[in-house]
Each structure stands twice: as structure tokens, then as C-alpha cells.
Homo-oligomer: A and B are copies of this chain.
Amino acid sequence: MEDERMNRAPGSRKQLSLRCLSCREEYCSTDAGTCKECYEEASETEEELKSEIEDLKAKVAFLRLGSSPLDSHKRSSSIGFSDVVLVASDEFHSNPVSLLAHKAVLASRSPVFKAMLEIEMEESRSGTISISDVSYDALRAFVNYLYTAEACLDEQLACDLLVLAEKYEVKHLKMYCEKFLVSKLNGDNSVASYSFAHQYNANHLLQSALSMIIEDMDNLTKSEEYTHLVEKDPRLVVEIYEAYLSKQTNTAARSD
């Protein structure tokens, strides 16, 4: 026993290896990260940040009106005391469908609804707001977002909600949809996304799509979306080429 311990303990390689306080694995000095003090500080900071997240989540849950669309399929109107009706009409449904809502909530989330409801307009007199070119599902998701700040997005719904968010100036929802659509960008949809972003002033999505397009210029002219965009809005195509040229000039200037 004594011999065994003696053999293991005083090896010269052991002295160079350290044990990580986080993963508990051994490492050699070239793989060293932080000192003990910084590790302890970072651990405390992480705990504090996590606790702040818990507090903020509880605040969000408290401030939400009605049940979350992620929890159930109940509509915002389930909270009662509604004083306004939203009517969706699209070209595919002859019968308009309606949703109950609250003026105070709509006005607080959207300056456009606020103006409609505060000024003596048709909407404030009748207590009905007509929303055209929107499916019932998109309108329901839109209203739910105004009450809960949550939505179960897919790409189609994100586009529909972005259009509504732009129209009714709901900045928070617009950014939420943009972030989602940016996360779904790829070589196949970048041109269409770029065109869509331009149409609805979605600058974050526009810049991300543009960056993706000019990373892969060789394939640009081969896509159907490109041909379509040249016909529909050639100025937008010009902007792609200008951005590409500007990037090339910058790269060249940096390498000089």
C-alpha cells in the first residue's frame, strides 16, 4: 500500500496538471481559463442572472391578460367584460368572423387602434373594427399576442403577423416575427424574404436576407425568385448589386 501511494504521488507530470473547479476534469496549464476569484464571481453572476430571469418570468405571467395561447386554445375574450368587436374579412371567406376584445388593451398596444378608438371615428361609435385581408387564424393569433406577448409561429403565421404588426404599429410583435423569420432564412428563401422585408419595412429581416444573398452571389441569378423580382421591382435588385459592390470595395480596401 505504502509503496503504491509513493509511486503515484510525487510524479513531475502531476504538478503541471490542475483540476477544473467547474467540470472537475484535470487540465494542463496551457488549457487554463480563469483564476479562482473570477470563477467564483462568474458563478455568483450566473445565479443572480437566473434569479432575475425567474422574477421577470413571474412578472410576464402576472401581466398577461387571459390564458396563454401556448397553454390552451381559449380566446382572449375568455377574460370577459369586452367592449369592442374585431371582424376579420378575407377574400376566401364570404362570412366575416369576429373576436371580442377590450378597447383599453388594443389602445395600449397599438397607436393605430388608439387613434381609431379615441377619435370620433366609425370604430369608436359602433364598437366594431373591421380588419381586411386577414384570415381568422391570423387575427386570433394577433389578438392573443396583444394580450399575452406569445404566439406559436410557423413561417406563414410569422409573415401574416408581421403584416398586421406593421399596419397597426405593434413594434414588439414586428420584431418578434422578424427574429423568427431571420432564424428561418436559407438559400432558397432569402430573395423572397428580402422582397417581403422591403415591402413591410422590416429592416432587421431585410439586412439579414441581404447579407445572405451577397454571400452566395453565384447562385443569385439562377433562382426563380430573382427573375420574378427583376420583373416586379428592379430597383430592389439594383440595391442587391450595390450592396455586393460596396462589400467588395470594403474587402479590397481592408486587404490593401
Hey, which bits of chain A sit against chain B, CB under 8 A? 18-23, 25, 27, 29, 31-40, 42, 45-46, 49-50, 52-53, 56-66, 79-83, 102-105, 107-109, 117-118, 148-149, 172, 175
Contacts and interface: CB of A to CB of B under 8 A. Distances in A.
Nearest to A30: B36
A56 B46 contact: no
How many monomers of this protein are in the complex?
A: 2
A50 B59 CA distance: 17
A241 B50 CA distance: 37
- The dominant DSSP class at the A interface is helix
A36 B56 CA distance: 31
Contact of A40 (B25, B33, B59, B148): B33
B29 A29 contact: yes
Given A59-B149, A80-B118, A66 B35 contact: no
A25 B29 contact: no
B60 A37 contact: no
A82 B64 contact: no
Nearest to A57: B56
Given A62-B109, A107-B79, A149-B63, A33 B31 contact: no
29 contacts: A19-B32, A20-B34, A20-B35, A20-B38, A22-B35, A22-B42, A23-B35, A23-B37, A31-B35, A31-B37, A33-B36, A33-B40, A34-B39, A42-B42, A42-B46, A52-B53, A56-B60, A59-B149, A59-B172, A65-B104, A79-B107, A79-B108, A81-B83, A81-B102, A81-B103, A81-B107, A102-B104, A104-B104, A104-B105
